């Protein structure tokens, strides 16, 4: 079944169905795919479940915090594995930019240094993670929201409103924290848009730019993480580290500019209007 609300399915019944499907996909990925792909797919499934919980949050009461915390903690068990793959890949992405040969050589040597310090976890077992995923999957079949249609509309509004507020705190030359928070909020709203894409002919068109914004902010975040990591390592050539930090900062600045322009446009509608549209779209 697709990660989408269906026109002929009651909104309340979609919650356990969608949660089950995503948790099943996470278990399958960790059981059958290569380590890198498995971690990526499992983390994506966990994010989708957390976005789903946020949509129904107003009607879930205390169940929300417990369920969200468990799915978050499961995903965190995989985050170290993900980071060790992303940092060298982020360095590799810098090589697509126009730069001086000296800078290019510095980026290549830094990429190789990051690869050399990567722990080999190809044979690491995911048994513990899988067991927890299977347990929360069973529990998810009892997830029920009070007044689900109203709950879902309020949940979408809340995530959208929070992202709108966070966007105002994001300065092009400012710290990484508000950008990180905006990225998370945008990702959740992008998943909410994806959940509703089958409810209206314009659904896909609405969801697409939110996915694009999430991608831009994700790349910005990876560069911020890389900058922190570069400050922690000892590079055999100090000048190389300076060049890589400069190139990373310049690319991050360009991504931030693109992201904030798109975010300003996407967050133009009021939260009240978003809630009204969502409430009208949701099946009864």
The one-digit pLDDT tens for each residue of the chain (284 residues) are 789 999 999 999 999 999 999 999 999 999 999 988 999 999 999 999 999 999 999 999 999 999 999 999 999 998 876 767 788 999 999 998 888 999 999 999 888 888 887 655 544 579 999 999 999 999 999 999 999 999 999 999 999 999 999 999 999 999 999 999 999 999 999 999 999 999 999 999 999 999 999 999 999 999 999 999 888 877 666 678 889 999 999 999 999 999 999 999 999 999 999 999 999 999 87
Q: Is position 83 within any domain?
A: yes
- CA torsion 248-251-256-261 (nearest 10°) is 180
Longest dimension (CA), the chain: 64
Tell me how many domains the chain contains. 1
Q: Is position 57 within any domain?
A: yes
Q: Is position 2 within any domain?
A: no
The DSSP result for 79-130, as a single string, is HHHHHHHHHHHHHHHHTTS---HHHHHHHHHHHHHHHHT----TT---HHHH
Q: Is position 1 within any domain?
A: no
- Where residue 236 sits, what CATH number does that domain have? 1.40.20.10
Supply the pLDDT for residue 123. Answer: 44
Supply the pLDDT for residue 125. Answer: 79
Cα distance between residue 44 and residue 51, in whole Å: 11
Q: Is position 4 within any domain?
A: no
For CA atoms 210, 212, 216, 219, the dihedral sign is positive
Cα distance between residue 120 and residue 156, in whole Å: 40
Q: Is position 51 within any domain?
A: yes
In 164-255 the beta strands, taken as DSSP E runs, fall at none
CB-based contact 254:216 (threshold 8 Å) = no
Range of the domain at 75: 11-281
Supply the pLDDT for residue 194. Answer: 97
Q: Is position 137 within any domain?
A: yes
Q: What letters, b where the CB count within 10 A reaches 16 and e where it falls short, cover 39-68? A: bbbbbbbbbbbbbbbbbbbbbbeebbeebb
CB-based contact 47:3 (threshold 8 Å) = no
Q: Is position 3 within any domain?
A: no
- ∠ Cα 90 111 38 (to 5°): 55
Helix (H) or strand (E) holding 143: none
In the chain the beta strands, taken as DSSP E runs, fall at none
Q: How many residues does the chain have?
A: 284
Q: pTM score, two decimals?
A: 0.92
Supply the pLDDT for residue 128. Answer: 94
First to last CA, the chain: 20
């Amino acid at each position: 079944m697709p990660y989408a609300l269906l026109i002929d399915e009651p909104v309340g019944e979609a919650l356990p169905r969608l949660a089950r499907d995503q948790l099943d996909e996470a278990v399958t990925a960790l059981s059958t795919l290569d380590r890198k792909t498995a971690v990526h797919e499992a983390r994506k499934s966990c994010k989708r479940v957390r976005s789903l919980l946020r949509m129904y949050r107003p009607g879930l009461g205390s169940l929300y915090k417990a369920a969200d915390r468990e799915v978050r903690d499961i995903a965190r068990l995989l985050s170290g594995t993900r980071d060790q793959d992303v940092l060298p890949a982020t360095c590799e992405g810098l090589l697509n930019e126009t730069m001086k040969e000296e800078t290019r050589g510095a980026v290549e040597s830094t990429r190789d240094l990051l690869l050399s310090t990567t722990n080999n976890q190809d044979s690491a077992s995911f048994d513990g993670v899988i067991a927890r995923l299977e347990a929360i999957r069973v529990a998810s079949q009892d997830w029920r929201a009070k007044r689900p249609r109203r709950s879902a509309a309020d949940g979408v509004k809340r995530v959208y409103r929070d992202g709108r507020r966070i966007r105002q705190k994001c300065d092009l030359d400012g710290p990484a924290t508000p950008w990180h928070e905006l990225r998370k909020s945008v990702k959740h709203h992008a998943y909410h848009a994806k959940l509703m894409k089958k409810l209206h002919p314009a659904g896909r068109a609405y969801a697409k730019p939110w996915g694009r914004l999430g991608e831009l902010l994700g790349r910005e975040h990876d560069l911020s993480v890389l900058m922190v990591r570069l400050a922690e390592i000892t590079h055999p050539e100090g000048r190389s580290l300076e060049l890589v930090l400069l190139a990373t900062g310049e690319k991050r600045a360009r991504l931030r500019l693109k992201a904030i322009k798109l975010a300003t446009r996407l967050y133009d509608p009021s939260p009240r209007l978003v809630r009204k549209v969502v409430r009208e779209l949701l099946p009864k």
